[in-house]
Amino acid sequence: MSTFPKNLIVDLSFDFALSIIDYTELLVEKKKFNMANQLFRAGTSIGANVNEAQNCESRADFIHKMKVAAKEAEETKYWLTLCSKSKWYLNPPNEALEQLNVMIKVLTKIIATSKQAKA
């Protein structure tokens, strides 16, 4: 049992990274190495930036890291959408896209709330 408080975006981004790892392994099995690499890097970067934000030096630093996470989420959405629309991908990543859309909403809210608290 963890002694740390629950953090929604940390949990979402971690679970999402695990989904991305699984999905990119399927892409590798299909020999879609370039797509797997791009998706892996963008999809796991979201959680890395969210975790980095947890130990930020200032509110501005926190907002910046969350914005980077949001940008990586948008890039990931692009790659997942390509996978879902391409004729070469037999298992569209619909669940991952749903997870990602929730995460983007949470990141957007965190950024907006953090900016308001700054003013």
- 95-113 in b/e burial notation, b at 16+ Cβ within 10 A? ebbebbeebbebbeebbee
d(CA 66, CA 70): 6
2 falls within a domain: no
65 falls within a domain: yes
Predicted TM-score of the model (pTM): 0.89
Whether 69 and 43 have beta carbons less than 8 Å apart is answered as no
16 falls within a domain: yes
pLDDT band at 4 (very low <50, low <70, confident <90, very high): low
Number of domains into which the chain is organized: 1
- Residue 25 scores a pLDDT above 60: yes
- Comparing CA positions, the residue from 75, 70, 74, 78 lying closest to residue 107 is 70
User: Which of 2-11, 48-57, 71-80 is predicted with the least confidence, judged by mean pLDDT?
Assistant: 2-11
d(CA 73, CA 60): 20
Residue 99: which CATH number? Answer: 1.20.1440.60
Q: 10: buried, middle or exposed (CB in 10 Å: 19+, 13-18, 0-12)?
A: middle
SS3 readout for 56-68:
CCCHHHHHHHHHH
